[in-house]
Amino acid sequence: MKNNCLFLLAVFLLMQCSSKEATVYTPVPYTLEVPTQFTNKLIAPIIPANNPLTEEGVALGKKLFFDRKLSGNNTQSCATCHSPQKSFTNNLQFNEGIQGILGTRNSMPLFNLAWNFDERFAWDGKEVGLEKQALEPVRNPIEMHANWETVAEKLQASPEYPDLFLQAFGSSEIDSVLITRALAQFERILISGNSKFDRYLNGETTLTPQELAGFNVFMDEAKGDCFHCHGSDNNPLWTDNKFHNNGLDSNFSDLGLGAVTGDTNDNGKFKSPSLRNLKFTAPYMHDGRFATLDEVIQHYSEGLQPSATIDPLMKKVSQGGVGLSPQEKANLKAFLLSLSDSNFVNNPAFRE
Amino acid sequence: MRVLLFLLTGLLTWSACSSPEEAQSANVAIRFSHNWENTPVSAADFNILKFTNDNGEMLSIERLRYLISNVILTNLDNETYELSPYQLVNLGDEEVSIESTQVPAGDYKLSFVFGFTDTENIDGGYPDLNTASFNVPAMLGGGYHFMQFDGKYTAQNLPPAGFNYHVISAVNTADPNNLIFQDTSFKVDLGVVSISATTEIEIKMNIAEWFKNPNTWDLNVLNTVLMPNFDAQILMHQNGKSVFSLGTVQE
């Protein structure tokens, strides 16, 4: 009799345990708020079938993004280098990892990542897919320098995370796969599409004469010719998400894409970043060498360095560039700043 | 017996209606190949100063994308079957093809338009082309590139310099207050092809033709900033007409 009772009790307890995961949670689909000009001008964003956006997944991803437990000594989170107030980068040329070692690349701003259709992330394109990209900084010895198993154990031991994972993914067994899926969900909702120029295109505001003149410099093949790599009024991403050698150096201390592909023809190529939110994202270039936008414009106007892999779209290289006048430079700068989206950097939904 | 006759009649009628249609359905695939005077060119040939144009300049290819539209099969009764309204072909992407299962077997004339006609060259109107950053600035009439061909050239032992052989619908900007537009898209007739159950058609581009026929192209003079160059666009338009030809047709 006693044995029978124990058996029934065990069966009852087992049912309690298993039924929780099997029946309690169905994540709520997350509705992405896509700006009108994105819907009208671009193809649909990439949302992987194995990681659909859900309210619970996005909320969990946000919590993880700001959680220092993801670093080896609990001192750094993703947001340490990717601050919402700075369009998800920061204003340092390079960042120190948890052990005080300085990196060699400027942290990239994060927004509109679901529209990166080649899905090659980072300055050199070494990470394919947002979920896979999220694996890298955590285990990078000069960044967050953690062990993914240890990170998962820390989260598993916390009082709140197991339930949050259960709600988001139907499993309270935390591992790097689910953590990076949640992080990627949060990153995919970081959409910036409400700059002054966006509102101008939507007929909601006007540009100053200087901003309009700067836009013409941007679009003029004989002047800035920026549009071939950096989008246009018809490509509101303001990047082609491709890799170019934009004439920074004649000799490369950092091979960029070339180190990833092993193809010497890719040496010195880096991803063309979006020109949105430049107001918040200084310093500029993959190595943060330019402290100001004026320096950036000066580079394209007069500072191009020849090399075997310089992009043919870089014009008049032998003369250093196209030689914009001071007025044209000022106009171009005014236009570029009109692509900055204060609503994005101040969005409380993206803050800790 | 009457029922049996009815069923037999019905069966014959059904088979008479359906079987020819089934027999005629064909799978058509169009594939694009590229060559320099019959030497195949692929992305593996990029970035090497290995081609010599008719004017004697050595050149490399670093980017070659072009747009065709109205890819049409026309049968002897002048019935048309549109295989694709438009297609962006990227030499760096070997997978590009056009496929259709809607064409009945038979003989057809194959044609397409290089670029977009003015009517179809709608500024910002094609999200996939916007996403590919293939647009033309509004100051040049808007719409889309017909071709973006970038590379480097060298002549007389000078260091290599870039060229941007960008084809668009021409616009004369001599008088900014009176822009004159000329539709420089053109129709390419590739001749007659026989479509059977499964047919793969090759469309060939001889890249060298862009530099030679009828106009010998001098890259020392015409290299960059060609989009607003009306005269250069007319020369490109003329040279482009001999670029494409029908390759193999495999049944």
Q: Which token pair is B61? A: 């290819």
Across the interface, of A117, A306, A312, the residue whose CB is closest to B164 is A312
Q: Where is B11: in which H helix or E strand?
A: helix B2-24
For residues A280 and A318, membership in a common domain is answered with: yes
pTM of the entire predicted model: 0.91
Q: Does A43 touch chain B (CB under 8 A)?
A: yes
CA dihedral A142, A143, A144, A148 (to 10 degrees): -70
Domain contains A96: yes
Q: Does A265 touch chain B (CB under 8 A)?
A: yes
For residues A180 and A122, membership in a common domain is answered with: yes
Contact at CB, B135 and A317, closer than 8 angstroms: no
B121 and B70 Cβ atoms separated by less than 8 Å: no
Q: How far is CA B170 from the centre of its chain?
A: 18
CATH assignment of the domain containing A62 = 1.10.760.10
| One pLDDT digit (tens) per residue for chain A, 352 residues | 444 444 444 444 444 444 445 556 799 999 999 999 999 999 999 999 999 999 999 999 999 999 999 999 999 999 999 999 999 999 999 999 999 999 999 999 999 999 999 999 999 999 999 999 999 999 999 999 999 999 999 999 999 999 999 999 999 999 999 999 999 999 999 999 999 999 999 999 999 999 999 999 999 999 999 999 999 999 999 999 999 999 999 999 999 999 999 999 999 999 999 999 999 999 999 999 999 999 999 999 999 999 999 999 999 999 999 999 999 999 999 999 999 999 999 999 999 9
For residues A177 and A224, membership in a common domain is answered with: no
Across the interface, of A219, A222, A312, the residue whose CB is closest to B163 is A312
3-state helix/strand/coil string of chain A: CHHHHHHHHHHHHHHHHHHHHHHCCCCCECCCCCCHHHHHHCCCCCCCCCCCCEHHHHHHHHHHHCCHHHCCCCCCCHHHHCEHHHCCECCCCCCECCCCCECCCCCCCCCCHHHCCCCEECCCCCEECHHHHHHHHHHCCCCCCCCHHHHHHHHHHCCCHHHHHHHHHCCCCCCHHHHHHHHHHHHHCCCCCCCHHHHHHCCCCCCCHHHHHHHHHHHCCCCCCCHHHHCECCECCCCCCCEECCCCCCCCCCCEHHHHHCCHHHCCEEECCCCCCCCCCCCECCCCCECCHHHHHHHHHHCCCCCCCCCCCCCCHHHCCCCCCHHHHHHHHHHHHCCCCHHHHCCHHHCC
Across the interface, of A219, A240, A318, the residue whose CB is closest to B137 is A219
**Which residue segment(s) compose the domain that A305 sits in?**
196-344
For residues A164 and A276, membership in a common domain is answered with: no
Q: Which residue, chain included where needed, has tokens 């040049």?
A: B140
Domain contains A16: no
Contact at CB, B162 and A306, closer than 8 angstroms: no
Query: String of b and e for B44-79 (b: at least 16 CB within 10 Å)?
Result: ebbbebebebeeebbbbbbbbbbbbbbbbbeeeeee
Examine the fold and report which residue of A191, A221, A248 is the final residue of a domain before the chain moves on: A191
Examine the fold and report which residue of A191, A211, A231 is the final residue of a domain before the chain moves on: A191
Domain contains A352: no
For residues A184 and A204, membership in a common domain is answered with: no
Best probe of the B interface among A34, A234, A335, by most B CBs < 10 A, is A234
For residues A230 and A116, membership in a common domain is answered with: no
pLDDT for the residue numbered A7 = 44
Contact at CB, A317 and B161, closer than 8 angstroms: yes
Q: Does B224 touch chain A (CB under 8 A)?
A: yes
Contact at CB, A235 and B62, closer than 8 angstroms: no
Closest chain B residue by Cα to residue A228 = B133
Residues of A in contact with B159 (CB under 8 A): 306, 318
pLDDT for the residue numbered B24 = 65
pLDDT for the residue numbered A23 = 57
For residues A201 and A304, membership in a common domain is answered with: yes
* Chain A to chain B Cβ contacts (< 8 Å): 82
Residues of B in contact with A41 (CB under 8 A): 124, 127, 130
**Residue B242, SS3 per DSSP:** coil
Low-confidence residues of chain B, pLDDT below 50?
1-23
Examine the fold and report which residue of A174, A191, A208 is the final residue of a domain before the chain moves on: A191
Residues of B in contact with A40 (CB under 8 A): 124, 127
Q: Dihedrals φ, ψ of A225, to 5°?
A: 45, 50
For residues A204 and A73, membership in a common domain is answered with: no
Q: What is the count of structural domains for chain A?
A: 2
Q: What is the pLDDT of residues A147-182, one digit of tens each?
A: 999 999 999 999 999 999 999 999 999 999 999 999
For residues A232 and A333, membership in a common domain is answered with: yes
Q: Are strands B63-75 and B80-90 parallel, antiparallel or unpaired?
A: antiparallel
Q: Does B186 touch chain A (CB under 8 A)?
A: no
Domain contains A8: no
Q: How far is it, in rounded angstroms, from Cα A250 to Cα A233?
A: 32
For residues A165 and A25, membership in a common domain is answered with: yes
pLDDT for the residue numbered B97 = 87
Q: What is the pLDDT of residues A183-238, one digit of tens each?
A: 999 999 999 999 999 999 999 999 999 999 999 999 999 999 999 999 999 999 99
For residues A155 and A254, membership in a common domain is answered with: no
For residues A226 and A294, membership in a common domain is answered with: yes
Q: Which token pair is A62? A: 């946000």
Q: Does B164 touch chain A (CB under 8 A)?
A: yes
Q: Dihedrals φ, ψ of B105, to 5°?
A: -60, 150
Across the interface, of B62, B131, B139, the residue whose CB is closest to A312 is B62
Residues of B in contact with A43 (CB under 8 A): 127-128, 131
Domain contains A102: yes
